[in-house]
Amino acid sequence: MRSVWAVARVTILESVRSKFVVVFAVLLAVCVLGVGLSFKGDGTLKGRIQTFLDYSTVLTQLLLSLLTVMLAAFVTSADIRSRTIFTVVSKPLGRAAYVVGRWLGVCSLAAVLLVLAMGSIYVLARHLATLPTAIERRKALGELPPQFRDPQRRAINSEVFTAREARQPDPLNVEGIVKRELDWQFERFGKDQLIRDYVRQQMIEASRGRTKMPTDEEVKRRAARPEVRRRVLEEIRRQTRKRILEQLQVVRPGGALPLRFSNLRAPSGGQWLQLQYKLRPLRRPDSGLVKSFWYVRNPENGLQAGDLRDDPVDAASVYEIDPRLVTSKGTLHVMYRNDPDNKTAVKVVPDDIRLMCRAGSFGGNVVRAGAIMLIRLAFLAAAGVLFGTFLSFPVAALASLVVLFTGLMGTFVQEATKLPTYTSPDALDYLSFALVRGAFLLLPRLPVLSSPAEALRGGTIISWQELSAELAVDPRLWDGTGRSAVKMALGFGTGLRALLALGIGALVFRGRELARVQV
């Protein structure tokens, strides 16, 4: 292990002395500071901070990725080209230790630059937050009273400098309604008759294309089986429950839909909650807007709030909620009411409703974002070292860049090569599908332009599950079945792919002939 650290230390010293690293470090500083001081976003302070977090994170990850692949490809191939490798391998140092040391040195240098960049981003973002908003400037000039509420400052604290998670409303409790509906159906039509009608329909669909239709005796015999009756009753209950839920989701003019969110984290720091929703009227209004009334009440302290709004049709809307309306048990009671002036029913789908609530801190989010970026840099360093063990520097650098840009386009490539759904795939479709899926078993997706910048910009939490998925395996895929185990095994993370590439590089370098004895 001491020899590995010795090679890593030499790698760091060689890199620091090179102009290549200095140029990238200067570019990194200019991009982080320049973006923070020049870009204004949408003209608001919140937009300026979000634009800074987005662009600076993307540029940091992109520049460090380019630096890592170029440097990793150079350190090994340059030793072989300049024959410096002879003085190294002649010492009591294994070839695998040399490869690991080179990789560790590149990763250490990238980690130092990453820590400096992310620390600068955090400090500069906090500095931008201290600047006055438009309303605060008007207050300072005396144009507005001091007690005037500033929604921009509240949005900065509640939507940017936080780590929020999306929570879905609790499922509607319709079991009592389902039981009454089933009892009514069984009493009116008869349970046995409903079962026979369902079995008959299934047998007719199964015999479609045949000349012989099922007889009444065949239907009765099949419907009399206990396992068939049990399965049919479960299916009738499932369809009844689905129909009732769909009916409750359609709110008629003047009607209301109660929603409840449970197990919420206790709000702190005065951060407000954001209710994101989408309304789907059955008949589109000419204005493209639908009136809605949202009412929230805390039964413990009696606090309540309501807002009559004009929301765009089939578009996302946001309603901010005071954190004091959350009960001490972490429950939030919300009611949606369809305004009678709408003259149309509105469909409210639970999947279109989510509550953005605090789940962590902004600082923790920045740390986890840096960890994800470091894992990706470790893979790129391993790929560069791998190609440098058997290719010259220009070819190794080009191959490493191909890996980087293929990872950047990973999601697009996989979506573009999906097997067609509405037409029969041909041999070329199957070939492209197999090649892409086979390549991405070893090549990870590297969404440098979106992740983790989008999470920092939107104030959404980067969970430990996401970090685990990037490092090793995604625990969210596990559901206790063998199929989920196969998905977890085939979808192993970028960190494991880095170790795999490093192992392949060590094996290739171990078997390479560095010199030939001539007599």
pLDDT digits (tens, 9 = 90+) for 136-188: 888 888 888 888 888 888 889 888 999 999 999 998 777 887 888 888 888 88
Shared-domain flag, residues 271 and 186: no
Shared-domain flag, residues 384 and 312: no
Tell me the C-alpha distance between 269 and 512, whole Å. Answer: 60
Q: Flag whether 225 is in a domain.
A: yes
Shared-domain flag, residues 216 and 298: no
The count of domains in the chain is: 3
**143, 160, 484, 507 from 398: Cα distances, Å:** 60, 38, 36, 21
Instruction: Report the candidate in 475, 265, 464, 494 with the shortest Cα–Cα distance to residue 369.
Output: 464
Shared-domain flag, residues 99 and 181: no
Shared-domain flag, residues 291 and 370: no
Looking at 360, 384, 413, the residue that finishes a domain is: 360
CATH of the domain at 330: 2.60.120
Shared-domain flag, residues 189 and 229: yes
Shared-domain flag, residues 286 and 317: yes
Can you give the pLDDT at residue 236?
86
Whole-number CA gyration radius for the chain: 31
Using DSSP's 3-state secondary structure scheme, residue 370 falls into helix
The domain of 412 spans 2-132+361-460
Residue 290 has pLDDT above 70, yes or no: yes
Please work out, in degrees rounded to the nearest 5, the angle formed at the alpha carbon of residue 159 by the alpha carbons of 114 and 295.
Answer: 160
Please work out, in degrees rounded to the nearest 5, the angle formed at the alpha carbon of residue 454 by the alpha carbons of 452 and 458.
Answer: 125
Looking at 217, 250, 283, the residue that finishes a domain is: 250
Shared-domain flag, residues 366 and 356: no
Shared-domain flag, residues 307 and 405: no
pLDDT digits (tens, 9 = 90+) for 235-274: 888 888 888 888 888 889 988 888 999 988 766 666 889 9
Shared-domain flag, residues 121 and 15: yes
**78, 97, 392 from 510: Cα distances, Å:** 17, 10, 17
Looking at 321, 337, 360, the residue that finishes a domain is: 360
Shared-domain flag, residues 351 and 388: no
162 and 268 Cβ atoms separated by less than 8 Å = no
Q: Flag whether 483 is in a domain.
A: no
Q: What is the residue type of 354?
A: R
Shared-domain flag, residues 78 and 9: yes
**Between 216 and 52, the higher pLDDT residue:** 52
Q: Flag whether 206 is in a domain.
A: yes
Can you give the pLDDT at residue 126?
93
Q: Is the pTM of this model over 0.95?
A: no
